[in-house]
Structure 1
Amino acid sequence: MPTWRLRDFHDDDLDSAIQIWDQDRAPQDLPAVFPVSEVMSVARTGGPAVVAVVGDDMVGMAVAQAQGERAWITLVALSETWRNRGVGSALIAELERRLRVRGVRRISALLAPGATGTAALDNCGYRSRDGLVFYEKVEHLGASDAGLLAELGGRVLAPGLWDALAGMEREKASIERRIVLPLVERSLAEQYGVTPPKAVILFGPPGTGKTSFAKAVASRLEWPFVEIFPSRLAAGSSGGLATSLRDTFADLAELQSVLLFIDEVEEIAGARSGLAIDPGHGVTNELLKLIPGFRDHDDRLLICATNSVRSLDLAFLRPGRFDYVIPVGPPDPAARAAIWQRYLGSAAGRVDLQRLVAASEMFTPADIEFAARKGAHTAFEREVVDRAGEPASTGDYLKAVADTRPTLTDQALTEFHEDIERHGRV
């Protein structure tokens, strides 16, 4: 039986090291605490890294990362035929020797239960500690992504936008069940045969909060948010809208994760007339071709919003491209009350909320926001003149409601309910 020996890690060992790492994890598909790219980077930049070889073949590797008097063993990997032969213990002992020379006094290791190296650590005097919980937060935006995201006009949104959404609980619950939960609970979804969505459409009257929902989903997922404006795409490309759209999707493919939002998507996906001279024909065709490629990648979500789902091309609406077509309708009384409270702030306890809710029956969330600000400004202007210390009253807000033209009309509501029956897919 050939014998093994230990030596330093060399750059030429990289491919063999990755193969051993893959082979080591494959049987049980154990999670890696430290990604292989990070481990190999440490090994190549002088972190203690030792390999075991038989002849010219690598059969094992161990890597540590030192920080002052503390070090972490980040990898112990062995070829399957050389496990339980003392190679792992020897690799760890050699790492310890090198770490002591660097002044390290405390050596720790984080390994998945049952992973290669656990027995070797036990043999070398390491003891597992019960009662500890491993916490981790993964940032979805690397340095290279940040520059590209800035070029695309995207950004990482503040956390908490989802929880801050008040009102519209019916729509919020639907979006959470269909969109958010399968993406947040991927492992559980996979167990139940649920495929996380890749593309969805939100439709409803203007001002009902479709953009706010899209941003809140991005915030909840902690994914970068990029919004495409069809009018800007057309103005920013000498090759035309279809070319600009194709170039933008190519750039998006470089991001590790992204929520892409297209508002007023009917501008680039309207029903085609069938005539060769139709100016929108090529743009719609281009978008139809781009969506399947976008869907091929994990950690990507396309949300399109429209005020007129009936004007979209029928090919655009079919299930193969969009997983769900979700209505976002006007707020009911409970939702209007919650939205009023959000924008009234401290004034909510001083006014007759139910009168405001009743008076704003045909208002969208955007209409309520406008009326709330208008009422507050009326009281502010009065105070500037009178200095009487009189806060905004119910009357101030009711007058603001009366002066605000509601977005919703009976015809718009009728069409919205028709669209739910014809096109809704939740």
Structure 2
Amino acid sequence: MQPWIIRDFHLDDLDQLIDVWQDSRTSGAHPVYTLAEIIDACTNGLAVVAVTEGTIIGAVACVLQDDRAWVLTLAQAKEWRERGLGSALLAHVEGKLASRGVRRISALVPASETRIRAFRNSDYRVEEDLHYFERTIPVHPKETRPLSQLGGRLLPHGLWEALAGMQYEKHLIEQRLILPLAHTELAKSLGVSPPRSVVLFGPPGTGKTTFAKSIASRLDWPFVEVFPSRLAAHPQGLAGALRQVFLDISQLEHAVVFIDEVEEIAATRTGEATSPLQGVTNELLKIIPAFREQEGRLLICATNFIRSLDNAFLRHGRFDYVIPIGPPDLIARIAIWNRYIPSAFAQHVDVDVLAKASDRFSPADIEFAARKASQKALESAVQSDQPTTMEMPLTTAAYLHAIEGTRATVTEAVEKDFLEDIDRIARV
């Protein structure tokens, strides 16, 4: 006669069941299901427990999906292992599942678990060719509403990898920002304080926004962009609206917060107390230290005019780094050109020549030149009496002609100022 009885789970059993579940776990094994999921299966799915002398010594909890049941846990107290308890629990729950119309019972169990023997003894088939994949959604359900209200979102994976070229900037940001934030505990153990706020500066159109989004994608954190111009009509004024936005952001576990053209609200103060922007700058100077006290968040401010920012805004203690983002380098320009040249004509175009000819071009400049060449080719094709026999419309020469007619955003003067700003202001 078995020294235990098996019965349905009762809510009063929960504390003991948790104890048995913890006792049954194999040290070092990755748990497939969380305790919260198991408790939910006990209360909303199907669960049975094995009891002896009023003490729970084993349990099985399942969730039901149509004609399939998933076993979330098969727990046994250590002193009751290797005595047939696991097989008895599985047999009991199988009978109850069959009466509910379940045809298939499945389980995912770490390979190191001793409970695998109970499944084998109960004629469960091992599917050798299956791989277990898991991904944790980075936004908790309770964060969904505040994130939506802030206009935030999770960005697609792979944005960081898609950043071609810009190797110096990528390496710098990877080392200074991403590594300490992605490996927080290791960083702290080595005396590295994960960054909380940074400034990206450089000429217009050099990809500062793209870098900010790519950082969020790389960290797998929600991206929240703050638009001061949209907050100006708030009943509390721009300063009050900024304060409220950052209070709302504090509800998120993780976030990359981005403010573009920050010089609009953090320009050098004139000293005039009546200036409305001075109040906004003062409020922002108060917000940043409070923001920096919270882990799991990164504030990225971008500016085209680093010289116009208030000195107090850039000082140590408010921003960990002030990082220059210059025009795309040669490798980056090659990648950008390849993005806009139609595949049917790619073999007829020397992209290296185009990249060298478009020095100091921003990504937007290259896109404009490429589309200009395509537009010219379309007009020629439509106007031709025999468009199908016309010469190759998109060639290296056609693109070079478009480059000659495109004004680079980054002029020699702008580039000179940018290099001076790197020497004088950058902090990396």
AA of the residue aligned to 1:36: L
Q: Is the CA contact (8 Å cut-off) linking 2:266 and 2:310 kept in structure 1?
A: yes
Distance, in Å, in 1 between the alignment partners of 2:190 and 2:21 is 30
Kindly state the Cα deviation for residue 206 of structure 1 after the two structures are TM-superposed: 0.8
Percent identical among aligned pairs is 50
- SS, match of residue 301 in structure 1: strand
Trace 1:40-59 onto structure 2 (pairs within 5 A): 40-45=39-44, 47-51=45-49
* Gapped regions of structure 2 (runs ≥ 5): none
- SS, match of residue 201 in structure 1: strand
Residue 79 of structure 2, aligned match among 84, 103, 127 = 84
2:424 maps to: 422
Q: Is the CA contact (8 Å cut-off) linking 1:24 and 1:77 kept in structure 2?
A: yes
1:172 maps to: 170
CA gap of 1:404–1:291, structure 2 versus 1, over 3 A, is: same
Q: Is the CA contact (8 Å cut-off) linking 2:197 and 2:298 kept in structure 1?
A: yes
CA RMSD of aligned residues (A): 4.0
Q: Is the CA contact (8 Å cut-off) linking 2:41 and 2:72 kept in structure 1?
A: no
2:200 maps to: 202
Q: Is the CA contact (8 Å cut-off) linking 1:167 and 1:339 kept in structure 2?
A: no
Kindly state the Cα deviation for residue 312 of structure 1 after the two structures are TM-superposed: 3.1
Distance, in Å, in 2 between the alignment partners of 1:198 and 1:111 is 39
Distance, in Å, in 1 between the alignment partners of 2:275 and 2:89 is 69
Does the alignment pair 1:224 with 2:219? no
Residue 307 of structure 2, aligned match among 310, 315, 326 = 310
Q: TM-score, normalising length from structure 2?
A: 0.78
2:38 maps to: 39
Residue 276 of structure 2, aligned match among 256, 268, 279 = 279
CA offsets per residue over residues 358-384 of structure 1, 9 Å max, x none? Answer: 432232222222222122212222222
AA of the residue aligned to 2:41: V
Q: Is the CA contact (8 Å cut-off) linking 1:246 and 1:290 kept in structure 2?
A: yes
- SS, match of residue 407 in structure 1: coil
CA gap of 1:314–1:290, structure 2 versus 1, over 3 A, is: same
Does the alignment pair 1:264 with 2:264? no
Distance, in Å, in 2 between the alignment partners of 1:313 and 1:56 is 71
Q: Is the CA contact (8 Å cut-off) linking 1:330 and 1:364 kept in structure 2?
A: yes
Kindly state the Cα deviation for residue 84 of structure 1 after the two structures are TM-superposed: 2.0
Q: Is the CA contact (8 Å cut-off) linking 1:52 and 1:59 kept in structure 2?
A: yes
AA of the residue aligned to 2:159: L
CA offsets per residue over residues 205-224 of structure 1, 9 Å max, x none? Answer: 11101112222333344443
Trace 1:2-401 onto structure 2 (pairs within 5 A): 7-11=7-11, 31-45=30-44, 47-51=45-49, 61-76=59-74, 83-85=78-80, 89=86, 94-104=92-102, 106-112=104-110, 133-141=131-139, 145-183=143-181, 196-235=194-233, 237-272=234-269, 276-292=273-289, 294-295=291-292, 299-318=296-315, 320-346=317-343, 347-387=345-385, 388=387, 389-390=390-391, 391-401=393-403
Q: TM-score, normalising length from structure 1?
A: 0.79
* Gapped regions of structure 1 (runs ≥ 5): none
CA offsets per residue over residues 386-420 of structure 1, 9 Å max, x none? Answer: 25434134444334333322221333223322332
CA offsets per residue over residues 85-109 of structure 1, 9 Å max, x none? Answer: 3597365554444334334455443
- SS, match of residue 50 in structure 1: strand
